[in-house]
Structure 1
Amino acid sequence: MIIQKSTNPRISSFDPENFSFGNTFIDHMIICEFEDGKWGDVKLVPYGQLPFSPAMMGVNYGQACFEGMKAYKDKDGKVFLFRPEKNFARINKSASRLAMPEVNEEMFLEGLKALVDMDRNWIPQGEGMSLYIRPLIFATEEALKARIANKYMFAIVATPAKSYYTEPVSVKISDFYSRAANGGVGSAKAAGNYAASFYPTKLAMEEGYDQIIWTDDSTHEYFEESGTMNVFVRINDTIYTPPTSEKILDGITRDSFIALANKRGIEMKIEPISVKTVVEAQKNGTLKEVWGVGTAVVTTVFQALGYKGEKLMLPKLSLEESFALTLQKDLVDIQTNKAEDPFGWRVLVEKNVLETV
């Protein structure tokens, strides 16, 4: 790995009590270029602009995918990643679906650890605080030709993070727009998936909702995801979540919630969830909770569902009553080293880069 430390670090001006998530970037980044059929050297360099042409194929033809993950700092200042091997596997799954070259484990995991170690002082401590990390792959070849590109870049950038949603949100159940279709790229973290979601979300927000629950493209009768999150539904004391498929992303937070629910002995059913079942459960009082999970948000509890012009309110539960909040606490306590990790999910980032540079 080639390491170039910043000569003008900005960490001294970083205020962990006052920063903007997604717009505040740490001092360094990882980059690696693919050309002539192979990846080159991994470089840890100062964060900054890169020279690209408007004819870059990733911009024109959408060959781009990414991951979302976090690093956490415990009360003693130790830094941990959470299940990074799952992100490594998923970015390669996405790259393969978009006909892009896969990255190797050393590039991804060692580059990730080196970056987090180098800029560990950027990781804020405290409730809801973390470092959000964005690995990505995109086509960089300069050519206006609708074909598989020959040049790519793998990069990792990161931004300090705090709680995403602080209050319960209202979501609209979509009866027209869908996030993904059969045979499409719904199971990949393709950049275009997010672009396509913005317009329907904008329409929902104009109706007074914060997000959308996406339904299937053929009938709009079944839940798939919610916004950029996997979705869970609790009816009585049973939790339901749709099975992953070529239309539903295999979320790492989703997988963790399922494991934690099983550990607690909560009945967990991975099966299709019909809109009709959820609406009927709300009407008869058996619908207890609906929530979304994802890396950035961890958990977002829904306070209301919009459907066919009606706003269906959900119960407001305490931490002790809520499965969503209980499982969220179980997860965050593991991530932040406040609890034992029986699953082996937590990965310590050793201090070594700064000592060898």
Structure 2
Amino acid sequence: MSAIINDIEIIKAKTTKINDVDFDNLKFGHVFSDHMLECNYENGKWQTPKVVPYQGITLDPSAKIFHYGQSVFEGMKAYKDADKNVWLFRPLENFKRLNISSKRLAIPELPENYFMDGLQALLEVDKDWIPTNEGSSLYIRPFVFASGNGFHASPADAYKFIICTAPSGSYFAGDVKVLIEEKYSRSANGGVGFAKAGGNYAGQFYPTQLAIEKGYQQVIWTDDNTHEYIEEAGAMNIFVRINDTLITGPTSDRILDGITRKSIIELAKSEGIPVEVRKITVSEVVEAAKNGSLKEMFGAGTAAVISPISGFGYKEADYDLPQLEDTYAAYLKKRITDIQTNKAEDPFGWRFQVK
């Protein structure tokens, strides 16, 4: 069965998997919806996207994604409010960042209407997959990769843009204990750290595995040159609260321009919370932990929104953060998720209704 929405062909699945899903016990990113959006880049231009049944992809062994890693992605969420309206959170920021990432990896940039109309068509078809349980959402994964063939070390001549969705529960459960990295780096000046390139995350797995073996859940990444400056927390941006001031590092070649990150900065400022965007030294954080002025640390990103850090390790020493009754992390997370789920006013114009 097929239909047309905004010039996008819809080919519906013959059967649905939705009745086999336990929406009360959703893991993050393990169950996938009935459909996906697919769009091919061929003969020098992006073809019209299609919504098709969720299915496997067949690629030639010489496809350049396997050899040269031309792959970028985004992370988004869709929510339903009490009236079953469907909402996205700042989707144009994801579209813009996908193209920024693509450009850095020599991948052709997508037209805005292909991204936005394609996404809305997909959500219209699979709107029943958007969970309504507290803390759950429909996680959305747009990604682009090189499908063109050849062993020559050069950009591909063909690409695929796909959007898949997964009804998901919370990304993390509980607070996280982290290890400040002293040897490895996730990115370098002039590199691709600011892009959501798949290889950035592959390079994080091994150091994170080493940290897990030491009893930590994640790594705090430091700068590639001196390892003196705190930059990111795992796959998230990082915020540090010293006394009543919220501090986060500036974006750069090495640090992702997180959409949750800049939303937290804008929201905190509007609430009268002192915010500083500046470099943060490891020694400053350690000293603050020792003298009691370090009140909070938390990661910020689409998947978890805000993930509190309960303690950190550095140079064979562990530092526990205080257990506060009222935290910036809890307050800001509630404010953002209330906006995302249409439980509160949106003075910033961040919420986007899917109609």
Q: CA deviation at 1:130?
A: 0.4
Distance 2:192 2:299 in 1: 21
Amino acid at match of 1:73: K
CA displacement, residues 260-293 of structure 1 (integer Å, 9 cap, x when unaligned): 1011000000000000000000000000000001
CA contact (8 A) 2:78 2:140 kept: yes
Distance 1:56 1:232 in 2: 39
- In structure 1, the residue matched to 2:78 is 71
- In structure 1, the residue matched to 2:98 is 91
- In structure 2, the residue matched to 1:119 is 126
Helix, strand or coil: the match of 2:48? coil
CA displacement, residues 99-139 of structure 1 (integer Å, 9 cap, x when unaligned): 00000111101111111111011111122110100000100
Amino acid at match of 2:275: M
- In structure 1, the residue matched to 2:5 is none
- In structure 2, the residue matched to 1:149 is 156
Q: CA deviation at 1:142?
A: 1.7
Q: CA deviation at 1:5?
A: 0.6
Query: Once structures 1 and 2 are overlaid, which stretch shifts more, 340-349 or 17-26?
Result: 17-26
Q: CA deviation at 1:54?
A: 2.2
- In structure 2, the residue matched to 1:326 is 331
Q: CA deviation at 1:14?
A: 2.0
- In structure 2, the residue matched to 1:272 is 279
- In structure 1, the residue matched to 2:184 is 177
Of 56, 59, 70, 2:63 maps to 56
Give the 5 Å matches for 1:1-357. 1-318=8-325, 321-350=326-355
4+ residue runs over 3 A deviation: none
Amino acid at match of 2:329: A
Q: CA deviation at 1:245?
A: 0.5
Distance 1:124 1:259 in 2: 28
Distance 1:159 1:85 in 2: 20
The alignment's C-alpha RMSD in Å is: 0.8
**Structure 2 gaps, min length 5:** 1-7
Q: CA deviation at 1:327?
A: 0.5
CA contact (8 A) 2:27 2:170 kept: no
TM-score normalised by length of structure 2: 0.97
Distance 1:280 1:21 in 2: 36
Distance 2:298 2:234 in 1: 11
Helix, strand or coil: the match of 2:32? coil
Q: CA deviation at 1:12?
A: 2.2
Helix, strand or coil: the match of 2:106? coil
TM-score normalised by length of structure 1: 0.96
Distance 1:22 1:143 in 2: 32
Helix, strand or coil: the match of 1:217? coil
Aligned length: 348
Task: Report % sequence identity.
Answer: 53
